[in-house]
Amino acid sequence: MSRRCGTDAVGDSGPADSGGDDGAPPALSHAFRGTPLVGGVSEDALAAAALRLGAIDAAVILGSGLGAVVARARVREKVPIDDIAGMPRPRVAGHPGFVALGEWSGKRVAIFMGRVHAYEDYTQREVAYPVRVAAAAGARTLVVTNAAGGLNETFSPGELMLIADHLNFTNSSPLLGAPAPNETRFPDLTEAYASRLRAAARAEAQRRGITLREGIYCGVLGPAYETPAEVRFYRSAGGDAVGMSTVPEVIQARALGLEVAGISVITNVWHAGASTTHEEVLARVAGAVEPLSYLVEAILTAAD
């Protein structure tokens, strides 16, 4: 069916120290020392990955075919995924394998060009690993983007949807198992997507005349697109869009105390008898890159 993704209560302890004002790499929090981390990645690997990014204020994860969004950032370096310890490699078209480091809207950012998904035979912990690395490098904000299929029949292909909340239909979580020392064991997801960051996106959309919908994102496992019965069920549950990513990253971010904003590109709207291919999804998102870039920029400007 519809899409292919690419995917606020503050926790008991916030993200790691973001380093000094001189822009030096972050001093890693003691929370990452002394206890092995879950998910098959050692604490030393996480520390090395964070040091490779350097001190950052925010992280952006770009979904399927959305890599061109990075053009509005001042990129000083593109780091191959293989150079970042423990980082899983994307295996799906439209997800480049590198991280762009630089500045955007006055913030030091790490822009993850693509993502991995659980349907690629990664665990939810592995899917959310970039968020853990960003938090260890000092990030306080996460912006997630994705390509999603429209469930809401008032939506049109090519429109943007600001994620107000999500429904987790993956039957899993990146927090399963022993918690990392810096994680909140039972994070409050009452405001998983920060209202003040959503307000900034809405204001920018109004200023620029961008059509911006707002709704509920249904996170599913994939990789098969939805059956008609599943679409009816997701709609009855209150879903406005559906995709195969984002939810694990958001849960992980909230457990680490990061503020989150999320935006979906609506690639198609499901109708009886319609079908969707991944190639069609990638073609659809290309036209949304410019307006999406403006909204990400506004969110980063509003971020702490």
Q: Which residues are catalytic?
A: 64, 95, 117, 119-120, 147, 244-245, 268, 278
Neighbours of 154 (CB within 10 A): 10
Backbone angles phi, psi at 57, to 5 degrees: -105, -30
Give the Cα separation of 192 and 189 in Å (integer): 5
Q: Which residue has the tokens 């990789």?
A: 223
End-to-end CA distance of the chain: 37
Report CA 285 to chain centroid distance, whole Å. 16
